């Protein structure tokens, strides 16, 4: 069996091991693969692993040996699964490997906004505290989370993990979800979407990207929010209208924005959120803890083993 990893660097920049693949056949591992390199590298593969390399209908139809695609992520929109199904190609993904890491990033972003630890650490490295006339100083608003309302859009695994942490901070947790109130964990109140936007001091997005949720956060909904509110997006970039959020930040209609995802990655240099005030952007790293990537690799190995044994799991095609 011939196995090709098209873009392995994102998952494994060198601190994990691909050695387990060798027992399944002949292996080729590429750090990155451009569209122009794709066909040459995948031409005779029985198995392909891809993180962000797009496998469309045309590509699938040109790979007669292909039997299996392992997506090295939870989202699998990079693969034309309908065509794969028609061609008998099994496609699997990696579910629920990064729940705790993503939930942790939500609060890393939130605390970066409310406490500005990095800002003060840099100031003090540069001598500001040593030269300060008073025993302390601050030049940014500092917010206590206890008693504030934390709103969540979507209560899947990550949304529920975030809710637990918010509750531990002493926050009131409200959520917009398709689940019934009696199905929700204790301490979470179900509310309508507009009410969520208007009541939340912190609003965090954890819903899938669908035609209905594309630009869920738009100018109209931003107008519903408190001017001091904090918006967090660790879900999918297109859940928000980036220009509308940037405009709200510049106009003082939104307190702050924290995100680990943008609509295009890497973003264009002129993405409005990169220069907007009180905008805190990390480069899609919530999933990238060594623990989460280790779980991803373990699930990946299990998916391939299950496919080889004739009982594929985590199938999305």
236 is catalytic: yes
Give whole-number Cα distances, 235 to 30, 153, 209, in Å.
Answer: 27, 10, 8
Radius of gyration of the chain, Cα coordinates, nearest whole angstrom = 22
212 is catalytic: no
Query: Of 12, 90, 72, 6, whose CA–CA distance to 43 is shortest?
Result: 6
Q: Is residue 251 within 8 Å of residue 224, measured between CB atoms?
A: no
Given 116, 206, 221, 236, which residue is catalytic?
236
Given 58, 118, 220, 265, which residue is catalytic?
265
Q: In what order do the strands lie in the sheet with 202-205?
A: 188-190, 172-176, 149-153, 202-205, 230-233, 256-259, 279-281
265 is catalytic: yes
* Spatial distance between the Cα atoms of 266 and 246, rounded to a whole number of angstroms: 18
Given 116, 284, 293, 295, which residue is catalytic?
284
For β-strands 90-92 and 68-71, DSSP reports them as: parallel
Q: Is residue 21 within 8 Å of residue 27, measured between CB atoms?
A: yes
What residues are annotated to the active site? 236, 265, 284
């Amino acid at each position: 069996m011939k196995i090709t990893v098209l873009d392995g660097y994102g998952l494994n920049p060198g601190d994990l091991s691909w050695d387990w693949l060798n027992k399944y056949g002949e292996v080729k591992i590429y750090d990155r693969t451009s569209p122009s390199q794709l066909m040459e590298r995948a031409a005779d593969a029985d198995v392909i692993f891809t993180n962000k390399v797009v496998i469309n209908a045309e590509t699938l139809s040109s790979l007669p040996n292909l039997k299996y695609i392992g997506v090295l992520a939870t989202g699998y929109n990079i693969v034309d699964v309908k065509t794969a199904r028609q061609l008998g190609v099994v496609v699997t993904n990696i579910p629920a490997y990064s729940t705790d890491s993503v939930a942790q990033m939500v609060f890393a972003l939130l605390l970066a906004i409310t406490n500005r630890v990095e800002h003060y650490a840099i100031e003090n490295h540069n001598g500001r505290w040593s030269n300060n006339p008073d025993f302390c100083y601050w030049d940014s608003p500092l917010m206590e989370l206890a008693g504030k309302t934390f709103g969540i859009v979507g209560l899947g695994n990550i949304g529920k993990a975030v809710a637990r942490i918010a509750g531990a901070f002493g926050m009131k947790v409200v959520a917009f979800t398709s689940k019934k109130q009696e199905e929700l964990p204790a301490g979470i109140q179900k509310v309508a979407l507009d009410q969520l936007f208007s009541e939340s001091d912190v609003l965090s997005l954890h819903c899938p990207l669908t035609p209905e949720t594309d630009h869920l956060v738009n100018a109209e909904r931003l107008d519903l929010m408190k001017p001091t509110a904090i918006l967090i997006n660790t879900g999918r970039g297109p859940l928000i209208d980036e220009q509308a959020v940037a405009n709200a930040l510049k106009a003082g209609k939104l307190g702050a924005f924290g995100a680990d995802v943008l609509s295009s990655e890497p973003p264009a240099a002129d993405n409005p959120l990169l220069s907007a005030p009180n905008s805190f952007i990390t480069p899609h790293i919530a999933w990238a803890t060594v623990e989460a990537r280790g779980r991803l690799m373990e699930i990946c190995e299990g998916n391939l083993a299950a496919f080889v044994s004739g009982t594929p799991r985590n199938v999305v095609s």
